[in-house]
C-alpha cells in the first residue's frame, strides 16, 4: 500500500507545491506509526492461534508453527469462564442499550431542536452540564438504586442506567438543528400531526445520524468495564469485558487463552469498525466541535 501511494503521488501531483520529498518522509513516519498501532493487534490475533507452550516461548514466534484453535475451544467450553455465554450477554446488552439510547434520545432531542416551550433552555442546560459530571459520583448511588430495583447481577443493570447519558440527546439535537425545517413545515401544512411529522419526515431524514449514534452506543456499551465488573458478579451473568477480568484471574499467565478471549471480545467491534469507520470517526469528531 505504501509503495502504491508513493507512485501515484509521484505520477499525478495534485498540487504544484514541491511535495515529493515531504511526501516520502511523511509516508515513512505514518507507516511506522501505523505499525505501532496495528502490530499489537496482529500479535494478539496470532497468539490466540498458538498452543500453550508456543504462546509463552522465548524468544516469541511471530507466526504460529502449529496453528490451533485449541485456545478458543478451551475458553468457549470452560464452565468456570463461560465465554460463549458472555458473548451472548454482551450482544443482548449492547443491542438493547443502543436501541434504548436511540429511541429515548431521538424523542428528547426533537423538541429541544424544534419546539418552543417554557423551560427548554433550563432543561437543555441541565442535560449538557452533566456531560462533564465525572462518572465516579454516580457509581455508589446507582449501585444502591439498581439494588432497590432488584436489577443487580442482571443484564438490566448494564442496559438501562447508561442510557441516561447526555451524549445522545446532545448529538441528535445538533443533527436535527442542521436539517432544513421546510419539509416539516410542509408536512404540518398538509395537516400531519407533530408525531406523524416526526415519524415520517424527521426520522427518515435522520437515518445516518441515528445509525451513527446506535453504533457509538453499541461500542460504548460493549466495551464498558468498570460498571459491569461491580454489578454483574456471577459467572453466567457477566459481559465480555468483565469476563476478561475473570478469565485473567483464573488463567494468570495462560496468554493463549487470554488472547483468545480478547479476540472474541474484539472481533465484533472490529467488524463494525471496518464497515462503518467513517461514520464512527465522524460521529466522534463532531462531538468535539460543538464543545
User: Which of 169, 210, 214, 232: binder of another protein (CB under 8 A)?
Assistant: 169
Residue 262 binding another protein, by CB under 8 A: yes
HEC assignment per residue over the chain: CHHHHHHHHHHCCCCCCCCHHHHHHHHHHHHHHHHHHHHHHHHHHHHCCCCHHHHCCCCCCCCCCCCCCHHHHHHHHCCCCCHHHHHHHHHHHHHHHHHHHHHHHHHHHHHHHHCCCCCHHHHHHHHHHHHHCCCHHHHHHHHHHHHHCCCCCCCHHHHCHHHHCCHHHHHHHHHHHHCCCHHHHHHHHCCCCHHHHHHHHHHHHCHHHHHHHHHHHHHHHHHCCHHHHHHCCCHHHCCHHHHHHHHHHHCCCCHHHHHHHHHHHHHHHHHHHHHHHHHHHHHHHHHHHCC
Residue 65 binding another protein, by CB under 8 A: no
Rounded CA separation 250/163 (Å): 32
List the grid coordinates of 200. Answer: 415520517
User: Which of 13, 20, 28, 41: binder of another protein (CB under 8 A)?
Assistant: 41
Task: Compute CA 131 distance to the chain's CA centroid, rounded to the nearest angstrom.
Answer: 17
Residue 18 binding another protein, by CB under 8 A: no
Indicate the residue among 62 and 84 with the shorter CB distance to another protein.
Answer: 62
Indicate the residue among 33 and 84 with the shorter CB distance to another protein.
Answer: 33
Name the minimum Å distance from CB 270 to another protein: 7
Residue 175 binding another protein, by CB under 8 A: no
Indicate the residue among 96 and 259 with the shorter CB distance to another protein.
Answer: 259
User: Which of 5, 77, 150, 200: binder of another protein (CB under 8 A)?
Assistant: 5
Rounded CA separation 219/241 (Å): 12
Residue 84 binding another protein, by CB under 8 A: no
Residue 15 binding another protein, by CB under 8 A: yes
Rounded CA separation 79/72 (Å): 14
Which stretch in 5-13, 66-74, 75-83 sits in contact with another protein by CB under 8 A? 5-13
x/- map, 113-132, another protein, by CB under 8 A: -xxxx--x--x--xx--x-x
Site for another protein, residues 183 to 242, rule: CB under 8 A: 183-186, 188-189, 191, 193-194, 197-198, 205, 219, 222-226, 229-230, 240-242
User: Which of 70, 78, 95, 143: binder of another protein (CB under 8 A)?
Assistant: 143
Which stretch in 65-73, 80-88, 267-275 sits in contact with another protein by CB under 8 A? 267-275
Residue 177 binding another protein, by CB under 8 A: no
Residue 136 binding another protein, by CB under 8 A: yes
Name the minimum Å distance from CB 232 to another protein: 12
Residue 280 binding another protein, by CB under 8 A: yes
Name the minimum Å distance from CB 87 to another protein: 13
Amino acid at each position: 500500500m505504501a509503495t502504491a501511494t508513493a507512485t501515484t503521488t509521484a505520477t499525478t501531483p495534485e498540487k504544484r507545491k514541491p511535495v515529493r520529498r515531504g511526501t516520502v518522509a511523511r509516508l515513512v513516519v505514518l507507516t511506522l506509526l501505523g505499525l505501532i498501532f496495528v502490530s499489537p493487534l496482529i500479535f494478539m490475533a496470532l497468539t490466540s492461534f498458538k498452543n500453550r507452550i508456543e504462546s509463552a516461548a522465548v524468544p516469541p514466534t511471530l507466526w504460529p508453527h502449529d496453528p490451533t484453535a485449541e485456545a478458543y475451544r478451551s475458553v468457549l467450553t470452560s464452565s468456570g469462564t463461560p465465554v460463549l455465554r458472555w458473548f451472548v450477554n454482551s450482544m443482548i446488552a449492547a443491542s438493547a442499550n443502543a436501541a434504548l439510547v436511540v429511541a429515548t434520545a431521538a424523542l428528547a432531542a426533537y423538541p429541544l431542536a424544534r419546539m418552543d416551550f417554557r423551560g427548554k433552555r433550563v432543561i437543555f442546560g441541565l442535560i449538557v452540564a452533566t456531560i462533564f459530571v465525572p462518572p465516579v459520583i454516580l457509581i455508589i448511588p446507582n449501585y444502591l438504586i439498581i439494588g432497590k430495583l432488584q436489577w443487580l447481577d442482571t443484564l438490566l443493570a448494564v442496559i438501562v442506567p447508561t442510557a441516561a447519558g447526555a451524549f445522545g440527546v446532545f448529538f441528535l439535537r445538533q443533527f436535527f438543528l442542521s436539517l432544513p425545517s421546510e419539509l416539516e413545515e410542509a408536512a404540518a401544512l398538509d395537516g400531519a400531526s407533530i408525531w406523524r411529522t416526526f415519524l415520517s419526515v424527521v426520522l427518515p431524514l435522520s437515518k445516518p445520524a441515528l445509525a451513527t449514534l446506535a453504533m457509538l452506543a453499541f461500542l460504548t456499551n460493549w466495551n464498558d468495564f468498570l460498571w459491569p465488573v461491580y454489578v454483574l458478579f456471577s459467572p453466567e451473568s457477566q459481559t465480555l469485558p468483565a469476563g476478561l477480568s475473570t478469565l485473567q484471574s483464573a488463567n494468570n499467565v495462560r496468554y493463549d487463552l487470554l488472547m483468545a478471549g480478547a479476540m472474541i471480545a474484539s472481533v465484533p467491534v472490529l467488524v463494525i469498525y471496518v464497515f462503518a469507520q467513517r461514520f464512527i470517526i465522524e460521529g466522534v469528531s463532531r462531538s468535539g466541535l460543538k464543545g
